[in-house]
Amino acid sequence: MVSHFLGRYRLDQYRLGRGGMGEVWGADDIVLARRVAIKFVLLPDAELHQRFAREAKALSSLAHPGVPALYDFGTDNGSHYMIMQFIEGNGLHDVIAEHAPLSIGWVASIGAQIATVLEAAHEQDILHRDLKPSNLMLCRDGSIRVLDFGLAFMHDADMTTLTQTGQQLGTAAYMSPEQVEGKRGTVHADIYALGCVLYEAATGHPLFTGPNDHSVKTQHITTSPMPAGRHRPDIPRGLDELLMAMVEKDPADRPASVREVYERLTPYLSGTEPLGDMTDHLASPLLLYARALSRTTITGPSMSATKSGEVRDDFSQGGARRARREAQTLIRESRYSEATSMLEDALARTPDAPGLREQLAEAYMAAGDYYRAAQGYRELAASSEPGQAFHYRLQEATCHAHLGDTDLALHLMTALVADVPAEDDPQALELRRQIGELELSARFLDRARRTLAALLSDLERIYGADHAATERVRELLTST
């Protein structure tokens, strides 16, 4: 490899990586004084060169912070090249090797971030086709970048040609059954690969292992995977069920879209402690931007006018207050469906009216619609200050407990305890008692004993042996 390329890029001494489709080099752009990555792609014939060029144009429009920007694309001496944004970070394969099993929060964060990238790609009919830990980069701010869309350029019509040339289409440990069998790929193949990646991050074990690639590929088609909970008893049931759904043999049995995967991961987005020197606790500008954007709600056109300017349905803040009062009356009369419908309508008309979202979540909870209540409290927590967010997050956990998802409820409560600055804070002490009671009710007796014994020791130290709170926990511990 020459040390300079196109007269402006000074290549590093050693390449960053090499695969079946080409190789990647780091380089300095001496004109703009920036680091770039240059991928040289070797393709077998002119027809595939044309298809590669067409797909590269599509990829250039994939503007997403989780994908390196494509700066340039062209042909030089018979091979295609792409010049891309250089990403600093650690490959997820290294993160897994050093820190797996990752915390539930990290598994959810990694999966949710990747899902948003895949959704942006799928909206443009781009499939990744080769999602694996070595194609995923964890940056120091905790963000994930999805690299190497090389196989995304290849349509299914290209597969026979490439196979005949000996190119490896995909990586055995992360290939969906239909990909192994050479069938037409869909978004469900990317969902399967993401399931394999998250399974490995959550357990520290690949979904399947074997003495060679053929053995692993055969297992993707014929062998039922071991539930993640067998490797890791503390994994919440809902997360385990999602991982198993993502790696179903039949694509129709997997989640319908990566948006569904994202939604099912969001309840577990907490507890992302630093991963050694691979991450930094200081928020980057990108994360500050994302935090601001997450609290920005874009509503539809004003409800007070049509496109032609005709005035319609002027629902003022006063109308929202009346709706709240009437809904409260309906709730007292146990007319929950009427109350929630009234509040939903008022929220659609005045999305920024104070208290409407909270009252609607409370109405769902009173009606026993714990699923929608949990969603409501999660959204409220995301847009609230820390003190108020604590209450909403606890309410969300309570909803999941009512739904019977004890593992998820305990995960959320435990994350809340970790967020309380002082261990002798009354909120933290009360929450620990609730965790112990929930573990008792779920018959997690060993866990409950540990939780309550530690809490009892702290209460005796803080309040004394005869305090009512101390006595209550002592009675609970005795009952175990």
Question: Is residue 130 flagged as an active site residue?
Answer: yes
Phi, psi of 305 (to 5 degrees): -150, 150
- Residue 459 CB coordination number (10 Å): 23
Residue closest to 248 by CA, chosen among 183, 298, 177? 177
d(CA 474, CA 452): 8
Angstrom distance (rounded) from CA 170 to CA 179: 8
H-type helices in 40-157, by residue range? 46-60, 92-99, 104-123
Count of residues for the chain?
480
Helices 426-441 and 406-419: crossing angle in degrees, nearest 10, is 160
Tell me if 39 is assigned to a ligand binding site.
yes
- Measured CA to CA, the distance from residue 71 to residue 279 in angstroms comes to 27
Distance, CA of 64 to chain centre = 15
DSSP 132: -
Given the residues 12, 76, 94, 130, select the one marked as catalytic.
130
Say if residues 179 and 189 touch (Cβ distance below 8 Å): yes
Q: In the numeric block, which tokens belong to residue 402?
A: 């009512």
Q: SS3 of 234, please?
A: coil
Residue 212, C-beta contacts closer than 8 angstroms, at least 6 positions apart: none
Residues recognised as catalytic: 130
Q: Extract the annotated binding site for ATP.
A: 39
Instruction: Give the annotated binding-site residues.
Output: 39
